[in-house]
Every structure is written in C-alpha cells, then in structure tokens.
Amino acid sequence: MTSGINLAPIRLGNRVVIDWPVALAPMAGVTDAVFRGLCREHGCGYATTEFARDRALLMGIPNQLRLIDVRGDVRPVGVQIFGSDAEEMRRAAGLVIERMAPDILDINMGCPAPKVTNGQGGSSLLRDPQRAAAIVAAVTREVAPVPVTVKIRVGWDEQHKAAGAAVEIARRVIDAGAQLLTVHGRTRAQKYEGQACWDTISAVAAAVAVPVIGNGDISTPEEATHRLRTSGCRGIAIGRAARGRPWLFGQIRAHLLGRRSGAAVPGWTAGVSGRPLHHSPGHEQLSGQPPPPDPTPEERIALGLEHIRRQRAAALATVREQHPRGGRSEAALAQEADRIALAGLLPHVMWYVWGVPGVTAVRRALSQARSATQLADVLGDFAARRHVYAAADRAAGRLPVPDHGSCETAWTASADGGGGPVDRNIQETTMAENAAAETA
C-alpha cells in the first residue's frame, strides 16, 4: 500500500465544489468546449476555458466571446481571461459573469507568449506584484460572490525564481482575494522547454492557506500519483499530455482508486452522457496496481471520429446563431460549419493517431482535408485500411513513433507567439481597435 493522498473535494466560495482534484489545464487553441467535454467524460474533475483577452471581450469580438461560452459545459467550469489594466479586467470579468455565469473566474498570469507579455499581461505580471494584486482585487470586487482564481508560473527566469518570486506573487494575489492558485512549474524564460520545478510549486503550496493546483510534466498516472503524494498540492492540472489522450484522466482515476479497466470500484458511479464520475471523498489509500492500458488504435480512431462529429455539431450551432432562420439555407449553414470546424479539429485528430502504424501516411492525408467531413472521411478510411497506410510507411522507410508524449505540432510554436491561437487572439483585438479608430 502506498501512503494516503487527500482526494477530498476542493471547496471554494459561493458553494463551488471541485469533487475530483485532477483538472484540465487551459491551452490556447486546444481546450475548446468539445475537448473539455470529452475530458470531463473521461474523468477530469475540472476545466477552464482557453484564455480570452479583456479588451477583446469588451469590444464584442465574436471569436473571443465564443471562447467564454460555457453554456454546455459540465459544472463546475471556469472562464479564464487576461489583461494588464485593472479597470478593463474588472469590466471584462463582469461581462463574463453576466453573459455566461461560470462557476469560477480565472486570471491568467502565466502565459509566456511575447505578444501577451509585451502588453504587460500574462506572465509579465509576475514582475509587477502590485499591478497583479490590483487586478485581482478589482475583479474580486466585481464578480463576488463568484470565486476568483489565478494561474501563475514559478518566475520570470531562473534568477527571479530563485529570489522567491512565486511565493511573493502568490501571497499578494491571495491577499487581494484569490481563492485558489494554479502554479505551472516553469519560468517564463523556459516557455515550454526544460523541466518543471516542483520544488517551487511545493514551496508555494506550503506558504499559502488556499488550495494550490500543481501543473507541469505530468503525463502518466504514476506521475500524477507521485505529485499528489509529495508536492503538498491539493490537486494537479494536466496540459499538453492530455492532447489526443482524454482517456488519461480516466487512467489516473483508476490508478488512484485501485481498479483495472472495466472493474467496479466501491463509491464510484460510471459517468454517462457527459456527466463526470463521482466518488466517496476523503483521504484515500492507493492500491499500487498498474493503471489501465491505453486504448487500442481502433478505439483511438473511434474517439477521433466522435470528436469530429461533436465539433461539427458545435460549429453548426454557432453558425445558426449567427444566421437566424430565413437568412440562409440549411445546406449552406452546414457547409460553412463544416469548414469552420476544420481549424479546431486538425491538431486533435493528428494527436489521436500519433504512434499508430501508418501515422505518417495518414497525417499527410489529413493535412490535405479542406473540411471536417473530409477529415472524417480520411480517418474512417484509415480505420478500415490501416494495413495499407502502414505498408506505405514501411515502403518509405518510416517507422511508427511509439512515444505519444513527444508529439509536437504547430500549436507548440504558436503558444510561444508563432502565428497560432495566441497570435490570433491579439491580432483580432488590434484589427478591431484600428477599425474603431478609422471610424472615430
């Protein structure tokens, strides 16, 4: 038997309860509503939206408003926003609560992308504790009694980290009203490279009275168990390791509660129709049994096809809201939704097939899809003829890559400001500001 781990629910103000302390970390361009739903169904205990820019929300930019739409999410759910001005953040937070009524309002002080930090938002706030505290105080007053939480990093760089910046900023934002902290174990200078420093995460957890969720380098049930047992954190958050692997949350649950895949666990009820699993909380004893195995290639492909189906349905619902009945034909709406859904789907589908024999050939075919329907057609063909794709890879001398965790795509570069979702977030706001100035 391994030592006990506190798996009791995390309780915040306004009667918000996070029943299971394993969360999905927000990631720009990844953790949209469909992916959040899949992770919750597989055992994730809490999720937060991709971050939205305060000014963009106040300007009513449609793509930014869609980021905060949590009407279909399993509760509790948080909305994350970022910015650098306390007054704008206050107003944006009020807009979020009024329109979407999330359970939690989260403030991003961890994003390392230059186009965020250059505007004094994201992780740049780690170097300005006074500004950070002012933002939290203003938002807390605006949205009360909704709990305010904050995501930070362990410092701006190694020197900043070594000087105890994480503990200082943690104390300042808590004094200003934050009820929970999520701490990513890398500095801003590291971005997404190197190793997460769990010693610093643990130091923050030991220094503050509110719950701390640790984040960084957790990609297996064994790592999740180790961090919950040794870090002093009340929970953990999984980020990049969950891409294409929503089942990881179920494996972590099963491992922590000592079951093999498909076995019954006392105190648990299997989740159905998007409802999360529930358990009898407390200080649980771990069985030390190995976690359930990964899904088979067939199961992974089937999940990818289900992801496509849900993304198309979500895109169609959005298009219908934009075009009330009578404006356009149903066929035209479906065609537009099919095209819109593709952008958010492609990286996810690529991740689902990573490491499967034939992956190089199928990824090439997937990259040529011009709609979600075409994406589903390629994935369906791969399911039916995996041997053909595998033979094509062998003929070209390409071997399957077994390590799913090493899979990187353009998303990683974009998170650092390389033209992806973070850049689009900033560019949409800038374009709208310029248009407003021209008409003023």
* Catalytic residue positions, numbered: 111
Structure tokens at 9: 């629910």
Bin 141: left if φ > 0, else alpha if -120 < ψ < 50, else beta: alpha
Going by the DSSP 8-state scheme, the letter that residue 13 receives in this structure is S
Enumerate the H helices of 52-164 as residue ranges: 54-58, 62-67, 86-100, 114-117, 129-143, 158-162
Amino acid at position 150, single letter = V
Give the other-Cβ count within 10 Å of 115's Cβ. Answer: 17
H-run or E-run covering 285 = strand 283-286
Measured between alpha carbons, how far is 154 from 167 in angstroms, rounded to an integer? Answer: 8
Going by the DSSP 8-state scheme, the letter that residue 18 receives in this structure is E
Measured between alpha carbons, how far is 55 from 70 in angstroms, rounded to an integer? Answer: 19
- Omega within 30 of 0 (cis) for the link into 293: no
Tell me the DSSP string of 192-234.
T-S---HHHHHHHHHH-SS-EEEESS--SHHHHHHHHHHS--S
Structure tokens at 371: 């709609």
Contact 77, 35 (CB under 8 A): no
Structure tokens at 166: 């994480």
Angle at Cα 86 formed by Cα 83 and Cα 88, nearest 5°? 65
